[in-house]
Amino acid sequence: MYAASSADLYHAGKDKLTRDLGRMISDLEQPGRLDVGLLSKVRTAFGRLNSYTHTGFQQIGARLTADGIGYDYDESEVLDALRWAEVLSIMALVGFAELAKNELLARAALERARAIGTTAG
């Protein structure tokens, strides 16, 4: 919607991206677009988020307790995961609002993203 060419869309439809993730993010994080830097933060945390999602060390390590296998997530880890879910949901909302040409909703969502962007780690 912001920076993809017709060729980019064609290739994406065939599961072949023509740009790397870093370039896509920099194309999107231009002033007036998604300029809050949240996508860059998501990219920075991508490995850790994948580890939680796909049964990596982050998820397995939190299940090993002194008593055996169970749940032992720190409250800060739970809050961090919820913050990331909020960030990703709001970024999706910004995109949908702009596709629907609802500028008021897109602006409000982007402002909310900016507000939480400083707390997502």
Confidence of residue 32 (pLDDT cuts 50, 70, 90): low
69: which strand partners?
A: 64
Other C-beta atoms lying within 10 Å of the C-beta of residue 39:
19
Alpha helices of the chain — where are they, by DSSP H? Answer: 6-12, 21-28, 38-53, 57-63, 75-99, 103-117
Across 16-26, average pLDDT: 80
Confidence of residue 118 (pLDDT cuts 50, 70, 90): low
Burial string for 79-110 (b: 16+ CB within 10 Å, else e) reads: ebbeebeebeebbebbbebbeeeeeeebeebb
- Residue 37, CB-side half-sphere exposure with 13 Å CA sphere: 10
Which amino acid would we find at residue 22? G
Q: Note the pLDDT tens digit of each residue in 62-113.
A: 777 778 777 767 788 788 888 888 888 888 898 899 889 999 998 898 888 7
For the chain, domain boundaries: 34-117
Please give the share of the chain, as a percent, with pLDDT higher than 90.
7
> Is pLDDT at 34 greater than 70 in this prediction?
no
53 vs 97: which has the higher pLDDT? 97
